[in-house]
A and B are shown apart, each in its own frame.
Chain A
Amino acid sequence: MNMIRNKASERQEIEALLPWHAAGTLSRRDAHKVEQALQSDADLAIQYATVRQDLVETIGLNESLGAPSARAMQKLMADIEADASTARRARSSFNLGEWLSEKLSSFSPRTLAWSATAAALAVVLQAGLLAGMFVSERQGGDFHTASVQTDQAIKGGTYALIRFAPEATTGDVNKLLENYKIAIVDGPSGGGVYTVRLAVTGMPKEELARTVKKLQDESVVRFIGPKPTE
């Protein structure tokens, strides 16, 4: 009796974890437990298929919400300028200029010449560091917003939203893209979701469904769904 009750509660626990399994946010141990249950429980597998469908459409719905205008950033920066904490931080920060002029006024001309050289070097070094930091941020892999598309702007054709399995390597992804003759045209946005072009022309609905189904069965793909028309 107890064993039956335990089995039922274990199944309930697995059932509750399905959404997180689909989203790829479970621990390795829990993911393994869910995978095993899915292999032996057909009803659970049906339920999991509905979860994946919900996930695809939730992402599609959120992606269709657009992005805020530049006004939001302008308002934020204006608010920051006007904020009392900004002035407080500026006051409490170390004032290098004041410190230098105090020190320099007490030095001999020779010491002053050496100090000037050292200061110039420090300025060059600091400029280099700042430039490096700026370039790294501007060029970094995930410095973009979901609203910004790459140079390969989406024009015509058939597109899908795809999220790759977390364990997939770059090589796996490239192989998949090559095998299916598809190209990533945008992303990642909204939780590692990419837009891929399945064909340069519009695909008939049945063919699109077939292709999506085939891709869905690939281990490299966590989920895929036709990109909603906007």
Chain B
Amino acid sequence: MQTTSDEALIGRIAAGDKLAMQVLFARHHVRVYRFVLRLVGEPSRAEDLISEVFLDVWRQADRFEARSQVSTWLLAIARYKALSALRKRPDEELDDETAQAIEDQSDDPEVAMQKKDTSDVLRKCLTKLSAEHREIIDLVYYHEKSVEEVAKIVGVPENTVKTRMFYARKRLGELLKAAGVERGWP
């Protein structure tokens, strides 16, 4: 059975259809939430921000030009909202510590290595990456965004996307090596 496309939903939202808004929200809110949570580190804050993201969609639906996927547009808005919220936070800067807050409350990679297997260590190391590297890895692996789409979301040239992803992988390899996991690369 066919479902209404995201683009058609946006058209209906632009005409003031609240049911269409709920359908779009149901389709995308979990992924948008996880993307925002990885950036801001606080579940309640991430929840507030996704409401703001979709409210922006409600307000700007008539301006959506379908030059990118709806999910790409949503992530671009979400990223902007998350970074703005982080900038507003008093006494804190947009740095690695902020976004590591979610996963970093337990063991270091070294300790995890002693306890469990490579998979656990790898996850720990993923949370140790800088916000910039973590963001690009999430967009490519979890949100399945192409080079072009990542460039649109992050607002950098496509070549920068490729280079940044390469260095993110390299950094991840270094963190793993430091935690005692040798994978043959880098």
When the two chains form their complex, are residues B47 and A136 in contact, meaning their CB atoms are under 8 A apart? no
When the two chains form their complex, are residues A133 and B141 in contact, meaning their CB atoms are under 8 A apart? no
CA–CA, A79 to B43, complex, Å?
19
Given contacts A50-B185, A54-B122, A141-B3, contact A72 B33 (CB under 8 A): yes
Chain A residues with CB under 8 A of B143? 191
Chain B residues with CB under 8 A of A141? 1, 3
Chain A residues with CB under 8 A of B46? 68
When the two chains form their complex, are residues A24 and B3 in contact, meaning their CB atoms are under 8 A apart? no
**Nearest Cβ distance between residue B104 and chain A, in whole angstroms?**
12
When the two chains form their complex, are residues B30 and A57 in contact, meaning their CB atoms are under 8 A apart? no
User: Which interface residue of A15, A46, A58, A60 has the most chain B CB atoms within 10 A?
Assistant: A58
User: Which interface residue of B38, B103, B169, B173 has the most chain A CB atoms within 10 A?
Assistant: B169
Given contacts A89-B16, A133-B4, A142-B3, contact A61 B51 (CB under 8 A): no
Chain B binding surface, main DSSP class: helix
Chain B residues with CB under 8 A of A19? 140-141, 165, 169
CA–CA, A65 to B26, complex, Å?
17
**Nearest Cβ distance between residue A194 and chain B, in whole angstroms?**
14
**Is B114 an interface residue when CB atoms closer than 8 A count as contact?**
no
Chain A residues with CB under 8 A of B58? 80, 83, 85-86
CA–CA, A2 to B145, complex, Å?
34
Q: Which residues of B contact A (CB under 8 A)?
A: 1-4, 15-16, 18-19, 21-23, 25-27, 29-31, 33-34, 37-38, 43, 46-48, 50-51, 54-55, 58-59, 102-103, 118-119, 122-123, 126-127, 137-138, 140-147, 162-163, 165-166, 169, 172-173, 183-185
**What are 23 pairs between A and B in contact, CB < 8 Å?**
A16-B162, A19-B140, A20-B147, A23-B144, A46-B185, A47-B185, A50-B185, A54-B169, A57-B122, A60-B119, A68-B43, A69-B47, A72-B48, A76-B25, A79-B55, A83-B59, A89-B15, A136-B1, A136-B4, A140-B1, A142-B3, A143-B26, A145-B30
Return the 8 tightest CB-CB contacts between A and B, nearest first.
A140-B3, A89-B16, A58-B141, A16-B162, A75-B51, A76-B51, A191-B144, A62-B142
